[in-house]
Structure 1
Amino acid sequence: MKIAQIAPLIESVPPRLYGGTERVVSWLTDQLVDMGHEVTLFASGDSLTKAELVPCVERALRLGGTHDDQVLSYLVMMDEVARRVDEFDVLHFHIDGFHFPLFRKHASRVFTTLHGRQDLPALRSFYRRFPEYPLISISDHQRLPVPDANFVATIHHGLPLDLHQPTLEPGGDYLAFLGRVSPEKGLDRAIEIATRVNMPLKIAAKVDAADERYFREVVQPMLDRPNVTFIGEIDERQKTHFLGDARALLFPVDWPEPFGLVLTEAMACGTPVLAFRCGSVPEIIRTGVNGVIVDSMDEAVAQLPRVLQLDRREVRHTFVRRFSAERMASQYLDLFRAATERPLVCKVQERPDDSLIAMARPAKTRMQALS
């Protein structure tokens, strides 16, 4: 098949340091090429890929530029995709709904994977305006706020099996936190958990401009604790050692997490996870197998010893079985092939039952507490 992958321009594909969506686009694109398909990647010029690269900006927009530069850059990218639209069997977008007004007559072969939260007020009416586009969720929980949207599949993210090697005997006696420093990611809760169980915590995370206040007022005063080490952003090679040598990953999220890529990255290293019951977490973590899900700080402290005793071989095996890049690409290909054989029918999704909502309920956010 001839497949176009249209990536965000904020980070390169793959990103040099932090960046979940661009990382997934990279793994999917390269896997599709390895499976024998002709893939074209529309992305920033500093991207590295096995596919044909169409550079739409010279370098990732995060490295410089203003908001106006970003809007204009995306418009230029949309124009380039539209110019070449007839070259492809399928177009696969990863940029929310930016492209919806431009590709309506091609909608049956235009797929959109939604990578972000869907509980923003305007999204329900937005998707109702463009019902012809088939949407792909990255977790079932992600769909809950927009049950009438035209979702045709949920496809969990997948990683290359050789990206991280499992560490069955971790070299460090520490807990790990990997991600963004933001209220919804719960770094302050991770520090508190590590302090209460008297274990070292190593933090590999970036601070976005939007989260500087939270970092300055909440997190920074906690970094003086003797058990806390703040490392900053790390690359893929460093990530393998950082996660692999950790006894467990702490994932105390406080928002409707759409997926949580770091969960699968930890599993790839054989590292079990202590996670809060928010968003997609119950779809990824199975208590007693690859981690433990908790509902409170007290439960997190009480359950951490159980997490540390989990079989790291089984954690890795769960990753191989459920979260490989090959599995992810195969599921996308099933959709793409169906679209080339017959147009996908718009379907109104049934509202998930109350038990699913209760199982994966998002915790009340603490972001307002900083206002």
Structure 2
Amino acid sequence: MRVLITGGAGFIGSHLAETYLERGDEVYVIDDLSTGALSNIEPLRRHPRYGHRLFVHIDTILNHDTMLELTGTCDVVFHLAAAVGVQYILKNPLKSIRINVAGTEKVLELCAKFKKRVLITSSSEVYGKHLHAPLVETDNIIYGPSSKFRWSYAASKLMDEFTALAYFRTNGLEAIITRLFNTVGPRQTGAYGMVIPRLVCQALNHEPLTVYGDGMQTRTFTFVKDVVDGLSALMACDDAAGEVFNIGGTEEITILDLAERIIQATESRSSIQLIPYEKAYAKDFEDMQRRVPSIRKIQDRIGFQPVTDLDTILRQVIDFQRTLMNRQPDKETTD
């Protein structure tokens, strides 16, 4: 099978590419490297057993000719390319909206043209300001005003969902939508506001762990390998088209407790420093106080169950970040 992954040099995309290469498939990646990195897929390109089955295109998904060729070549499409991370989105609001909305429209248009099954990765952000848990795929959506650019990402991802469902209903396109809840693991960077790698790096450097707000906001975290298993199983499920599925963990934790657990796991001398939102972000930022998914629907459909607990996730991220830190002096010497 030939698999196209938009955003395939990103954190989740590179793990998804690795999974399909291990299965013996051909993988085609397109990524503009705005938030992805070649270092995520370089080991795959050099791998003696399956490097020859990985084809990488450094380009934007808005390039019609490139996407036309890739979509026509491949059997299925995973659409992961998007603006990601709160900090990146607040700094690049127009670019983020354009790539999320116009980019997804381009992917769907070409998948409909070639009748290719496509999986769209949406986000738990689409639920907005709900305080209840767990969040169910049929819940209403509650956003803040348009002046709060925090919600531009959520609204753009919701527009992606509407467009995919419209293609399913009007063109019969086999489109599957997944809402991801805080996927974490090796290769994830904290540069764009991702909380666990950011706090882990601070702890390893014995710096204060910066927790925004009062730290009482809660999240669940899902290991990237568990997420990839869910994505690939949904792609193979004939009964998933035209549906929306949460993919996430069930272990709810406050960010303050998360920071304390990271300090313990790293044996760090760090303290915890609470930072007001207005100092951490632009003035038009709002946070979601609680974000816990219901995974009953995906459990019923494909038997999905996250198997990696939070302590194991933290160990994996800590080991990865330690490896990066140990490599840094060698890189500086070489340069």
Same-fold call, TM cutoff 0.5: no
Higher helix content, 1 or 2: 2
Query: Max radius of gyration: which structure?
Result: 1
TM norm structure 1: 0.38
